């Protein structure tokens, strides 16, 4: 028997990617239901090459009989409907920020802390981390196991797709406007994004950090190790898909760049592209549509004891969101946490 799956937020960037990945990975689904807000009811979304799904109204949907809910509608909507789905007996894998720091909800990246999945029974919900946190911890986990990470300094270069389709449209529209000398309109972003970078993602907090930066700190501690010190600067850049990160590590034990390269080369989910020559590194354009977390520019930092620098890039819509959610569901099935309804 296969599983009955509901995709919440099916018309969004991540929702569409969830449908693509379920099909690509031949997920054992007997039934897939697309859910979104009332304004999207009746729209069509693709599931594979042959199947077209009609979008149903999330507000009116009865989750009884649904095995797995893959949810990416925004935090406020998830706060209402993820608990409702869990109460109806579904396992909810939630891609919003709503439940990530709830102590009764596991925050899971299968390559890093698959053991935490077992905690889903407390509330029936598993949280997907923030996209920028997710790709970073996949690369950090094997290095932490080998030499224990004391401190992380990370600067992100995050694509517009992380802010949704309207943000991508704004980048496209502004770029076109510049070339034809039209006025530049900033709606989704606080400043012009075309040919610019914006050091501001999410809201500002009292200490001067943005919430995106706080997420990277808090989520890394919850997923990887609460003892790790993390400081982040998160920046939006004029890229459509793919988040990049410059990461500086301070380790407890010596680990030279050759050892680090070898360790990362064997790590699950990691792809090392690190040649010291023109083009011997990865960029966001090359990761779009790919599942891997790519690591380049691996080198010793001589300014700090046991220091290491990394360049990490990944498709934020895939591993940073949709793929990770599907991998959690696959891990639950493999670990027999989840059985299909008869």
* DSSP characters over 102-131: -TTS-B--HHHHGGGGGGGGGTSEEEPPPH
- CA 332, CA 340: separation in Å to the nearest integer? 11
HSE value, Cβ hemisphere, 13 Å, CA-based, for 261: 12
* Active-site option among 81, 144, 234, 243: 243
pLDDT at 51: 85
pLDDT at 298: 98
Question: Whole-prediction pTM value?
Answer: 0.94
Q: Strand, coil or helix: what is 94?
A: strand
In angstroms, the Cα distances linking 288 to 141, 177, 256 are 23, 25, 30
pLDDT at 1: 63
- CA 237, CA 195: separation in Å to the nearest integer? 8
* pLDDT tens-digit readout, 240-269: 999 999 999 999 999 999 999 999 999 999
**pLDDT by 10s per residue, the chain, length 342:** 689 999 999 999 999 999 999 999 999 999 999 999 999 999 999 998 878 899 999 999 999 999 999 999 989 999 999 999 999 999 999 999 999 999 999 999 999 999 999 999 999 999 999 999 999 999 999 999 999 999 999 999 999 999 999 999 999 999 999 999 999 999 999 999 999 999 999 999 999 999 999 999 999 999 999 999 999 999 999 999 999 999 999 999 999 999 999 999 999 999 999 999 999 999 999 999 999 999 999 999 999 999 999 999 999 999 999 999 999 999 999 876 666 654
Task: Report strand pairing: 243-251 vs 149-158.
Answer: antiparallel
Token output for 202? 């999410």
* Active-site option among 131, 144, 200, 234: 131
- CA 233, CA 156: separation in Å to the nearest integer? 6
Contacts of 165 (CB under 8 A, 6+ apart): 12, 13
Task: Report strand pairing: 44-47 vs 51-57.
Answer: antiparallel
Residue with the two structure tokens 């949704």: 164
pLDDT at 339: 65
CA 158 to chain centre: 12
pLDDT at 109: 98
Q: Tell me whether residue 131 is one of the annotated catalytic residues.
A: yes
Closest CA to 212 of 199, 222, 201: 201
Closest CA to 314 of 245, 249, 260, 264: 245
Q: Tell me whether residue 115 is one of the annotated catalytic residues.
A: no
- CA 109, CA 120: separation in Å to the nearest integer? 14
pLDDT at 52: 87
pLDDT at 341: 54
């Amino acid at each position: 028997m296969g599983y009955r799956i509901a995709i919440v937020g099916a018309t969004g960037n991540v929702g569409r990617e969830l449908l693509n990945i379920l099909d690509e990975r031949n997920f054992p689904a007997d039934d897939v239901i697309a859910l979104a807000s009332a304004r999207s009811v009746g729209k069509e979304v693709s599931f594979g090459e042959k199947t077209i799904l009609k979008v149903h109204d999330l507000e009116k949907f009865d989750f009884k009989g649904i095995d797995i809910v893959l949810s990416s509608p925004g935090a406020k909507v998830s706060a209402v409907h993820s608990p409702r789905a869990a109460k109806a007996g579904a396992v909810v894998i939630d891609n919003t920020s709503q439940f990530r720091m709830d102590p009764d909800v596991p925050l899971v990246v299968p390559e890093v802390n698959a053991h935490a999945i077992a905690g889903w029974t407390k509330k029936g919900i598993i949280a997907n981390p923030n996209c920028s946190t997710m790709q970073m911890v996949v690369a950090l986990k094997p290095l932490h196991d080998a030499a224990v990470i004391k401190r992380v300094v990370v600067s992100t270069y995050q694509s517009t797709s992380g802010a949704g389709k309207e943000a991508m449209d704004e980048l496209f529209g502004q770029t076109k406007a510049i070339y034809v000398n039209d006025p530049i309109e900033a709606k989704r972003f606080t400043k012009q994004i075309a040919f610019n970078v914006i050091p501001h993602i999410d809201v500002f907090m009292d200490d001067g950090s943005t919430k995106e930066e706080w997420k990277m700190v808090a989520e890394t501690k919850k997923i990887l190790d609460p003892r790790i010190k993390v400081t982040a600067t998160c920046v939006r850049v004029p890229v459509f898909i793919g988040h990049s990160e410059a990461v500086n590590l301070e380790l407890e034990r010596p680990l030279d760049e050759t050892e680090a390269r070898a360790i990362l080369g064997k790590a699950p989910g990691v792809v090392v592209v690190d040649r010291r020559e023109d083009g011997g590194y990865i960029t966001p354009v090359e990761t779009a549509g790919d599942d891997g977390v790519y690591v380049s520019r691996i080198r010793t930092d001589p300014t700090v004891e046991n220091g290491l620098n990394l360049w990490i890039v990944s498709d934020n819509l895939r591993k940073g969101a949709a793929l990770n959610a599907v991998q959690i569901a696959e891990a639950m099935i493999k670990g027999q946490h989840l059985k299909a309804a008869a």
